[in-house]
Amino acid sequence: MNRKRNTRLALVPCVAAVLLLNFPLILVWDRDVTVAGLPLLPVALFGIWAVLIALVALIGEARPVRRRPDGG
């Protein structure tokens, strides 16, 4: 049960990434605006990318939470 739930949880960042990096959400960034002198679109894409990497790193490097064995 727990394993299935974990599998489903693992899908969440992936689905989020698919949505964030695709049409139509990507159009949010597609405008003639600069951030600190840089065009918004590449900055946003690299930004989303960096956040995703950080997310995977956080999940992957976190020590597995030791569940107390059940029982009374």
Contact residues for other proteins, defined by CB under 8 A: 3, 7, 10-11, 13-14, 17-18, 21-24, 26-27, 30-32, 34, 36-42, 45-46, 49-50, 52-54, 56-57, 60-61, 72
- What backbone phi and psi angles, to 5 degrees, belong to 35? -115, 115
CB 52 within 8 A of CB 13: yes
- Please, what is the minimum distance in Å from the beta carbon of residue 45 to other proteins? 6
Q: Compute the half-sphere exposure of residue 58: CA atoms within 13 Å on the CB side of its CA.
A: 8
Nearer to other proteins, 36 or 65 (CB): 36
* Phi and psi, residue 38, nearest 5°: -110, 145
Shortest distance (Å) from residue 68 CB to other proteins: 13
Do residues 52 and 17 lie in contact, with contact meaning Cβ atoms separated by under 8 Å?
Answer: yes
- Please state the closest distance from residue 21 (CB atom) to other proteins, in A: 5
